[in-house]
Every structure is written in C-alpha cells, then in structure tokens.
Chain A
Amino acid sequence: MIPAPFRYLRADSAAHAVDLLGEHGDEAKLLAGGQSLLPVLKLRLADPAVLIDISRVPDLSYIRVDGDEVAIGAATRHRDVVESEELRREVPLLPHVAGYVGDRQIRHRGTLGGSLVHADPAADLPCAVLALGATFVVEGPSGQRRVDAGEFFQGYFQTAVGADEILVEVRVPRTGGAGWAYEKFVRRSNDWAIVAVAAVDGRVALANMGETPLRATATERALAGGASPAEAAASAAEGTSPIEDMHADRAYRAHLARVLTERALVTAAG
C-alpha cells in the first residue's frame, strides 16, 4: 500500500512547526513517529498535501521532574518513557502502560504525544494520562495554552488541539508511592484494549467504554466515601456508552469494566 502523494517538510522547532501549519492550513498534518499516521495514509483514510515532520525537533523530546509534576516532551518515544528512571520512580503507572503500546519496533518509533493526539479511545496511553490527571501544553500562533486531561479528549479521534496548533508537552503529577494498576483485556498480546482500566491514587479511567477515555466518576465517588474495591467497582460502567463490535457487545464491555476495575483497585490498594 502506497500513501497518496504529499510534500514532506521538516520542522526544526515547535515554533517552526506552528509557522508551517499556518502556511499550509488544513492541508497539513504533523508527523512524529508515524506509527498511527502512516497506516492511516497507506489505507488512504487521509490524504494531507503536506506532512510536517517534528520527530527531529530536539526540544520536544525530554523527561524532567518540574516541581510536583514530571514534564514530558510530546515527541518523546514510548521506549524512552518505558525506560525513564524518573518516571518509574515518580509516576510508575505511565512507563508501565507505555510498555503495552504495540511492540518493541513500534515503541522505538512511536511517541507519547502522537498517541495522545491520535486519541483512539481504545488506546492505552490516553486512558493512563486521564487517570493521572495530566495537563497538556499546546502551542499555536498566539502562544502556549494549557488544557486539562478532562477537556483534552473531545470525541472519537478528536482532541482540543486546533488545526493550527501543536501539542508540545504533557505534564503528569508525581504520584510517588500512591497505589496504581493497569488492567487490560485483549485477545492477542499487542491488540488495542477491548476494555482497559487505569487506577491511581483514587482516580479511575476506562479505555474503550465510549468515544473518549472516560473517568469512572461513580466509582471514584464510592471510593472517596470509603467503599471497598468490589463495592466501588460495581458502578464502573455507569454513564458509559461503549461500542459494540466483533469482540464484545455493550453488556459484555460493561461487565469487563466492572471486573477489571475491581482487579485494578485491589492491586492499587496493594
């Protein structure tokens, strides 16, 4: 499969990428690791006239502790997230979940920011950063702005990042020794989740239970009120609207959400 023709441009800074986006408008797409975008182009589900490669921008790839958060450059590769000593110490959920993304080859290319702006509701990392309560730093023609995780994912493959903007940084709160867990149900090892649950520090997020990753708010309220994992998990599917597909119907996904949430809460409670 061959993508439709496009012009390949290379940005040397985030500001340069924003300039190029301004110049080429809706015709352009940002390219980082390409592990989600190139398959889409090869299937011709999209045919942008211009690709702007940001994978070599040096100031988009870093992991550093900054106050009570860890700041991660949007073009940081999954491999570097998995292996980061700072993240393993300060936010252990994130490198653990990054290890579920694709396979080694994909993690050598794919980036944290790329996975998040792709915003597949069945993907691992959107669910994890929602549970973590991350903040997204987005840069556009009029400068930078911050978006909370709860506002970032807006729909099926849609985020708060505008067509003239670029995600430059993800800021995750340091959770340190707080209990955490990730429970993912798949039929094959490197598939997207049929349902997955991330739990950390009393917050719970669900993958593939709706058009975006979702917080299990009823479960979180029950936990805050002192409920046991089993009691809290009973309401994990409340307010969700999962798809039905060849893997699972709605009732089965709701069942998985409850079972996986209970497992995650038991593990997180240590």
Chain B
Amino acid sequence: MKIGTTVNGAARQDEIEDRLLLVHYLRDRCGLTATNVGCDTTSCGACTVLLDGESVKSCTVLAAQVDGREVTTVEGLSADGADPHPVQAAFRQEHGLQCGFCTPGMVMASVSLLRDNPKPTEQEVREGLEGNFCRCTGYHNIVRAVLAAADGVSS
C-alpha cells in the first residue's frame, strides 16, 4: 500500500508492505537508525518515538497506521545536532546514560512527558517513564536529567 507521512518535518511518500512495523519503516526505509528495537514486545520503550507529538512504542504500531500523520524521532529533535534539544543537553549534563541503548527512547518519552507536564515532581517523572527500561539501571541520573530539563538548568 501507499502511505504519505511527515518524518522529522519532511514529507514523504512510500510504497510499503501492509504488515510493516513503524520501527522498521523508520530504520530501514527512512534510514533513521537511532530508534532502537529492544524487547520488541511493547515493554522496554527503546523504540519510543512521537506520533503527532505523543509518545508511542514504534514496535507496536503499523506503518500503515501513520499514513497522513507526523512522526518525530530523536534525530528530529535538533536541526543539525550541534544545538541539542534541552532534554538531550540535560541527559548529557546529568550523565543520564551509560551504554546508551535506551537513550533515544528515554529522550523521546521524556520530551512527551514534559510537553504534558512541564514541571513534574520526581515521582511524576519516575511514573511517567515507567514504560522505559534502562538495563544499566541508571535511573537516578535519567530522572535528574528530566528534572534539570524541566528547570531549564541545562539550556
């Protein structure tokens, strides 16, 4: 089938197999490989992207379902990478990553959380990120990073 999407601000048209998953569309068709496939079972959140501004797990969305809609991956957060998004800057400043595998999903889940709740409490950050696992268990610094981004400390 044919779909039209806007990915990181750029409109595209693609002929896809009906069963293609959004995460594979992004990685294999759009060449955007920052979005990782982790558990592949809607648990770990490594594949989190924004669909019309809301966080979703792209391993559990069909590419066919984003026809006519807007997708943002971590590559789309800052125009040239030299000027990181405040959440990205906060993750760097607070050392909110260790191996980095969960980071693109953590960042996108955090961007979505802060859009809905710009000044979350620590508890709200922890609950808001319950769908994202860090196998390095580096949660404390991740939570610190999200709180720092909310405070604008890192900008």
Per-position 1/0 for B11-32, Cβ under 8 A of A: 0000001110100100000000
Residues B7-64 near A (CB distance < 8 A) = 17-19, 21, 24, 40-42, 45, 48, 51, 54-57, 60-62, 64
Docked-complex contact B18 and A104, CB < 8 angstroms: no
Query: B interface, how many residues as a size bin?
Result: 20 to 34
Does B82 interact with chain A (Cβ within 8 Å)?
no
Q: Looking at chain B's contact residues, is the secondary structure mostly helix, strand, loop, or mixed?
A: mixed
Query: A interface, how many residues as a size bin?
Result: 20 to 34
Docked-complex contact A104 and B65, CB < 8 angstroms: no
Docked-complex contact A2 and B112, CB < 8 angstroms: no
- Residues in chain A near residue B147, CB distance under 8 A: none
Docked-complex contact A38 and B109, CB < 8 angstroms: no
Residues A167-184 near B (CB distance < 8 A) = none
Does B131 interact with chain A (Cβ within 8 Å)?
yes
- Residues in chain A near residue B132, CB distance under 8 A: 103
Among listed A90-98, A105-113, A124-132, A142-150, interface-contacting one: A105-113
Does B130 interact with chain A (Cβ within 8 Å)?
yes
Q: Which listed residue, A6, A38, A55, A104, touches B60 by the CB 8 Å rule?
A: A38
Known contacts: A5-B17, A35-B42. The answer to whether A105 contacts B64 by CB under 8 A is no
Q: Which listed residue, B1, B57, B62, touches A106 by the CB 8 Å rule?
A: B57
Does B113 interact with chain A (Cβ within 8 Å)?
yes
Docked-complex contact B56 and A105, CB < 8 angstroms: yes
Report the bound CA distance from A7 to B18 in whole Å: 6
Does B76 interact with chain A (Cβ within 8 Å)?
no
Report the bound CA distance from A104 to B109 in whole Å: 9
Shortest beta-carbon distance from A36 to chain B in Å: 9
- Residues in chain A near residue B109, CB distance under 8 A: 104-105
Least CB separation from A43: chain B residue = B41
Known contacts: A104-B112, A105-B55. The answer to whether A38 contacts B62 by CB under 8 A is yes
Report the bound CA distance from A1 to B131 in whole Å: 20
Residues A1-41 near B (CB distance < 8 A) = 1-8, 31, 34-35, 38-39, 41
Report the bound CA distance from A1 to B47 in whole Å: 14
Report the bound CA distance from A5 to B113 in whole Å: 35
Does A42 interact with chain B (Cβ within 8 Å)?
yes
Docked-complex contact A53 and B130, CB < 8 angstroms: no
Docked-complex contact B41 and A6, CB < 8 angstroms: no
Shortest beta-carbon distance from B92 to chain A in Å: 24
Docked-complex contact B19 and A104, CB < 8 angstroms: no
- Residues in chain B near residue A109, CB distance under 8 A: 56-57, 60-61
Docked-complex contact B60 and A35, CB < 8 angstroms: yes
Report the bound CA distance from A8 to B17 in whole Å: 9
- Residues in chain B near residue A3, CB distance under 8 A: 19, 21
Does B4 interact with chain A (Cβ within 8 Å)?
no
Report the bound CA distance from A198 to B67 in whole Å: 39
Known contacts: A104-B128, A105-B131. The answer to whether A53 contacts B64 by CB under 8 A is yes
Docked-complex contact A106 and B131, CB < 8 angstroms: yes
Least CB separation from A103: chain B residue = B131
Per-position 1/0 for B94-111, Cβ under 8 A of A: 000000000000000100
Known contacts: A8-B1, A109-B61. The answer to whether A103 contacts B18 by CB under 8 A is no
Docked-complex contact A190 and B131, CB < 8 angstroms: yes
Docked-complex contact A6 and B19, CB < 8 angstroms: yes
Report the bound CA distance from A42 to B54 in whole Å: 23
12 A/B residue pairs, CB under 8 Å, sorted by A: A8-B1, A34-B60, A34-B62, A104-B112, A104-B130, A105-B55, A105-B56, A106-B57, A108-B54, A108-B112, A189-B127, A190-B131
Residues in chain B within 8 A of chain A (CB atoms): 1, 17-19, 21, 24, 40-42, 45, 48, 51, 54-57, 60-62, 64-65, 109, 112-113, 127-128, 130-132
Instruction: With A5-B19, A39-B42, A105-B131 given, name 18 new contacts (CB 8 A).
Output: A5-B18, A6-B18, A6-B19, A8-B1, A39-B41, A39-B60, A42-B41, A51-B18, A103-B130, A103-B131, A103-B132, A104-B131, A106-B42, A106-B131, A108-B55, A108-B112, A190-B130, A190-B131
